[in-house]
Amino acid sequence: MKGLSRKVTNEKTQCKKFFNYLAAMRVLSDSYRHKGLRKQLVEQIRSKGITDERVLQAIGDIPRHYFIDSAFDQIAYEDRAFPIAEGQTISQPYTVAYQSQLLEVKPHEKVLEVGTGSGYQACVLALMGAQVFSIERQKQLYEFNRQFPYLRNFPAIRHFFGDGYQGLPTFAPFDKIIVTAAAPAIPGKLVEQLKPGGKMVIPVGESRVQQMFRISKDAAGDIHEEVFDDFSFVPMLQGKNN
Ligand code: SAH
């Protein structure tokens, strides 16, 4: 009986692996059609008010369809979020651009990202010249990103499996911190891990809609808050999910 139950468990594991593989089917070729749609997306985001040319250039360079299930290939360049594994989402390109612009990333800065998700936002930051430290609490997403061939083009991105509420004390302090999930309040440990002169961009709120905050730490270590537009993110959850 023991042998049988082990066999069933093994088969279940094999099935799960197969379904994960299917769920991760991606189109990994960048056609003229994709490139054309990407140009249109950049112009659309520009017309919505994004002015940082480095952000627009990064969005124009990264094949967003690589980060999305092939089922969405035809619509990958619409300015909207899409589901990824584990009930999470790849953010809307306008939202990625908005947060990246507010972060005012300069080349060689150390940037902590909370919520790797698809890895798309991390690539935008890396193309802007940042050294990216990205944390994800979902083991499956973390593992997938470690094997995702396109991300091997980005040695400036380091992946961590962990709880973003804790930040990364070993690598702190950071010039910039970007949180890509909705926090009920500003996490104190993240503020602690900001350098003097550093900035954190984070959506804050407990309802379906959150406000984008930018927290700045001045040279004396005092904190200043600015509030920007409303957005809708998946929640920032406590702990890790194996
Ligand atoms: N930046 C991502 C957006 C992903 S959605 C992208 O470009 O695709 C937000 C992600 O935050 C999800 O993958 C979710 O699992 C993750 N997340 C939520 N709470 C977290 C936490 N406490 N620590 C780390 N990641 C978290």
- Identify the structural domains of the chain with CATH numbers, from first to last: 88-231 (3.40.50.150)
How far does residue 220's CA lie from ligand 1's centre (Å)?
31
Per-residue pLDDT, 170: 97
**pLDDT above 80: residue 22:** no
Contact 200, 177 (CB under 8 A): yes
Contact 199, 112 (CB under 8 A): no
How far does residue 29's CA lie from ligand 1's centre (Å)?
26
Q: Is 107 left (phi over 0), alpha (psi -120 to 50) or beta?
A: beta
Segment 103-118 mean pLDDT? 98
Question: In 64-221, which residue ranges form alpha helices assigned H by DSSP?
Answer: 93-103, 120-127, 139-147, 188-192
Residue 6 CA to residue 97 CA, distance in Å, equals 49
Q: What is the dihedral of CA 122, 137, 217, 93, to 10 degrees?
A: 40
Per-residue pLDDT, 21: 47
pLDDT band at 194 (very low <50, low <70, confident <90, very high): very high
**pLDDT above 90: residue 168:** yes
Mutate to test the pocket of ligand 1, among 237, 238, 242 (most ligand atoms within 8 A of CB): 237
Atom 20 of ligand 1, residue of closest alpha carbon: 236
Higher pLDDT, 50 or 18: 50
Annotated catalytic residue within 31, 91, 118, 207: 91
From 103, 146, 145, select the one nearest 124 (Cα to Cα): 103
> Residue holding tokens 């994709």?
34
Q: What is the dihedral of CA 65, 40, 103, 210, to 10 degrees?
A: -80
Contact 104, 199 (CB under 8 A): yes
Higher pLDDT, 8 or 79: 79
Question: In the chain, which residue ranges form alpha helices assigned H by DSSP?
Answer: 2-23, 32-47, 53-61, 93-103, 120-127, 139-147, 188-192
> Residue holding tokens 């973390």?
142
Question: Can you give the C-alpha Rg of the chain in angstroms?
Answer: 19
Per-residue pLDDT, 122: 98
pLDDT band at 7 (very low <50, low <70, confident <90, very high): low
Contact 111, 190 (CB under 8 A): no
91 is catalytic: yes
Give the pocket of ligand 1 (CB within 6 Å).
Answer: 88-91, 114-115, 117-118, 120-121, 135-138, 141, 163-165, 180-181, 234, 236-237
Segment 169-188 mean pLDDT? 98
Contact 123, 57 (CB under 8 A): no
Atom 10 of ligand 1, residue of closest alpha carbon: 115
Segment 37-50 mean pLDDT? 98
Length of the chain: 242
pLDDT band at 27 (very low <50, low <70, confident <90, very high): confident
Residue 88 CA to residue 67 CA, distance in Å, equals 13
- Looking at the DSSP assignment, which residues form a beta bridge with residue 174? 194
Per-residue pLDDT, 25: 77
pLDDT digits (tens, 9 = 90+) for 127-156: 999 999 999 999 999 999 999 999 999 999
Q: Which atom of ligand 1 is nearest to the CA of 138?
A: 15
How far does residue 228's CA lie from ligand 1's centre (Å)?
21
